[in-house]
Chain A
Amino acid sequence: MELAFVIEKVLLVSLIFVITLVIAMYSTLAERKVAGFMQDRFGPDRAGPFGILQPLCDGGKFFFKEEIIPAGAHKTLFILGPTIAIITACIGSAVIPWGQELTIGERVIELQVTDVNVGVLYMFGVVALSVYGIMLGGWASNNKFSLMGAVRAASQSISYELAMGLSLIALLMVTQSLSLKEIVVQQEGFVNWNIWVQPLGFLIFLICSFAECSRVPFDLPECETELIGGYNVEYSSMKLGLYMFAEYIHMFVSSALMATLYFGGYNFPFMNDLGLSQNWITIIGVLVFFAKIFAFIFFFMWIRWTLPRFRYDQLMNLGWKVLIPLAIANIVLTGVITVIKDTFF
């Protein structure tokens, strides 16, 4: 492996890591600003202009808070919980194609850390792992409320991963590829976006994303009014911060994944008709991609400050009795349409 390649990848990984963290940080501010906007108030505006420094202050405060590990807690797992949560949240972004290639001099730089040919499966694996952080942390706290939160998180995650996976199968039947890069390349322009061929699949995927991120209306693992914060009740200091961070990174990665799979990733309408050079297309593509991500993040927040949450059994009913049958129907429908298309057109 040549050195330049290694340097390029290390730089890209660090860059994406930093961007992910910064976006997660500023999502916390954005959440509060959006909440303020929805609720006729200002949100944080004391730290810096428009409260821009608020996330830094919050982060700093987290670091300086006393760290308390409850006496009855399983110490190793208690520490492992948030660690797993943050690690699984961060590694998800490795396979997401952020843009097309940039050409600098002779060198062509791919704006993707790695194009795994089973990228979709990788994402799934990572998402499935993330529940361990919550589960372990909740159990290790030795608190009844966190245990209930952890159990809720585990069952919710398992139920909704099924529907999510099934909704993706229909998509994969259309794309014929598991590589995220390949899926994005197929969706060039505007009319080729997967949302047009898989609207139902997208809807299911979107709902499942909410559930996977434990966002309202699926925020049962935290559920402040019932479980007093759920799995993270006993956490303090930066451990709590890591859990919160993981949630926002999760939201960011989910948004990126939805944009990639269904909304054409970095593709934008008329991208090849504007007569721009490849580098410009790439740069605009990256910006467009982030715009799509932010739109989804905003959507997450919009829902959070509007809807009530489900009850546990309603959540299960929705997952098992509605979403999974719908996803299966979607697979059948997609199959039938594909066969008809291949046979007659």
Chain B
Amino acid sequence: MMNDSVSKISGNKPVYSDNDPQDELFTLNLGPTHPATHGVFQNVLQVDGERIVSGVSTIGYIHRAFEKIAEHRPYYQITPLTDRLNYCSSPINNMGWHMTVEKLLDIELPKRVQYMRVIIMELARITDHIICNGILGVDTGAFSGFLYVLQEREFIYEIYEEICGARLTTNIGRIGGFERDFNETAFAKIREFLKRFPPVLKEFEELFNRNRIFVDRTADVAAVDAETALGYSWSGPILRATGVDYDVRVNEPYSSYEEFEFDIPVGTKGDVYDRFMVRNNEMWESLKIIEQALDKIEKEPKGIFHADVPDFYLPPKEQVYNNMEALIYHFKIVMGEIDTPKTEVYHSVEGANGELGFYLISDGGRSPYRLHFRRPSFINYQMYAPMSSGMLLSDAIINMSSLNVIAGELDA
């Protein structure tokens, strides 16, 4: 990585170079603990003053071998692992995983459960986009907008608490449905959120969308054309910002997304500003989807929150203690003694950062033979170093924020 002039100096020779000293580059370690990396990963940059000449991305600082751990765990114990992928939107990961296993086991969920999942996934998408766009604001120097929307994320976390009891690493849902029904408070809070979030998001947009400094900072920065983006296998908002209307929710609908009316916002130039706008608009679309889902749930029979699959879904405790059948199912499920088909499945959901895929090979046993997570951050981030060369340091940093690289998803 060392360029010529640098290696001359570092060698045990007289410090002399025919080169113009102004040509010398220096190495700048961006990370692993840099405020702009928002997590633990590193970029070793060769910098010419403020301009980046080349860079190498180093990942793996929080690699936890989830894929390997998953090979030793029964299916239902893998959900908490998925929490810790993209921890800004864990419910999407949870749901994606449940759906993958349901696909493997060929379980059809009742409509109400599917709508509930849609609600929780869209809420998660909003939290993730809030963080990404808010942090983009922070990285350009505008702090306040971030806190305005972060209050609303707090409220979504309250909804999570209402639904599953946890806030960040949610572990929402079970294979075959949810662990319990959404209570009345949860529904009330979701409705309240639909009312209170739009004004805040509008205020946030007013702070940034036409802010001259912000637009100057982000427009035409790190522009990526659709072909390159597809070549690097990008997905999610940053791909849509380049103008490709690929969204798993539409292209490969899951959890009844085909029944919902919503638009896929796309950009034109694929620059940081377009990514920001795509994410902002997606939040509006998510709100629309949640509203529709709430209406649809009202039309469904109440109280259904899981599919009727006693082989895979834990029976209620009162039945376990009083009923032989339930006790057996309970034992088998908890001990992971369920029979799974010997096959392989791939299921993907539209994660907040892109296509979040689960490739599962089952050998019929209690745990996956092999499980691979297609983590969008990992794939999107590959382009970061090549993209950065020629960029100013400041641009490289907001580019990183707009890619929304979540360290947990980068290193599974």
Contact = CB atoms under 8 A, between A and B. Distances in A.
Interface of A: 35, 38-41, 144-145, 148, 151, 216-217, 219, 223-226, 228, 305-314
A226 B393 contact: yes
Interface of A is mostly: loop
B296 to A, nearest CB: 34
A310 B28 contact: no
A40 B217 contact: no
Contacts of B49: 151
Nearest to B395: A311
Nearest to B396: A226
Most chain A beta carbons < 10 A, residue from B143, B147, B216, B393: B143
Interface stretch (B133-141, B239-247, B303-311, B359-367): B133-141
Nearest to A317: B216
A307 B207 CA distance: 8
Interface of B: 26, 28, 34-36, 49-50, 137-144, 147-148, 151, 207, 211, 213-214, 216-217, 392-395, 397
Nearest to B38: A225
Contacts of A219: 141
A39 B217 contact: no
Nearest to A148: B50
A242 to B, nearest CB: 23
Contacts of A223: 141, 394
A38 B147 CA distance: 10
Nearest to B28: A144
A38 B144 contact: yes
B144 A225 contact: no
A313 B49 CA distance: 12
Nearest to A310: B213
Contacts of A310: 213, 216-217
16 contacts: A38-B144, A39-B144, A39-B147, A151-B49, A219-B141, A223-B141, A223-B394, A225-B397, A226-B393, A226-B394, A228-B34, A305-B143, A306-B207, A308-B142, A310-B213, A311-B392
B147 A41 contact: yes
A225 B141 contact: yes
A145 B175 CA distance: 49
B151 A40 contact: yes
Interface of B, secondary structure class, is helix
A309 B148 contact: no
B143 A313 contact: no
B28 A216 contact: no
A34 to B, nearest CB: 11
Given A216-B141, A219-B141, A225-B138, A308 B35 contact: no
B155 to A, nearest CB: 13
Contacts of A217: 141, 213
B375 to A, nearest CB: 25
Nearest to A227: B393
B148 A144 contact: no
Contact of B213 (A39, A145, A148, A307): A307
A310 B217 CA distance: 7
Nearest to A219: B141
Interface centre among A35, A305, A307 (most CB of B within 10 A): A307
A162 B395 CA distance: 27
A307 B394 contact: no
A39 B148 contact: yes
A313 B213 contact: no
A314 B213 CA distance: 9
A225 B395 CA distance: 11
Contact of A308 (B28, B147, B213, B397): B213
B392 A224 contact: no
Given A35-B143, A224-B35, 7 more contacts: A145-B28, A148-B50, A148-B393, A223-B141, A226-B394, A306-B142, A310-B216
Task: Sort A-B residue pairs by CB-CB distance and give the 6 closest, nearest first.
Answer: A309-B141, A308-B140, A308-B142, A39-B147, A308-B141, A225-B139
B392 A307 contact: no
Given A225-B35, A226-B397, A144 B26 contact: yes
Contact of A307 (B26, B34, B142): B142
A311 B147 CA distance: 23
Given A217-B141, A228-B35, A40 B148 contact: yes
A7 to B, nearest CB: 47
A314 B217 contact: yes
A228 to B, nearest CB: 6
A306 B397 contact: no
Given A41-B147, A144-B28, A311 B141 contact: no
A312 B392 CA distance: 9
Given A144-B26, A144-B28, A148-B50, A313 B211 contact: no
A186 B27 CA distance: 56
A54 to B, nearest CB: 19
A309 B36 CA distance: 15
B184 to A, nearest CB: 28
B36 A225 contact: yes
B179 to A, nearest CB: 34
A308 B214 contact: yes
A151 to B, nearest CB: 8
A226 B397 CA distance: 7
A310 B140 CA distance: 8
Contacts of A226: 36, 139, 393-394, 397
A307 B141 contact: yes
A228 B28 CA distance: 13
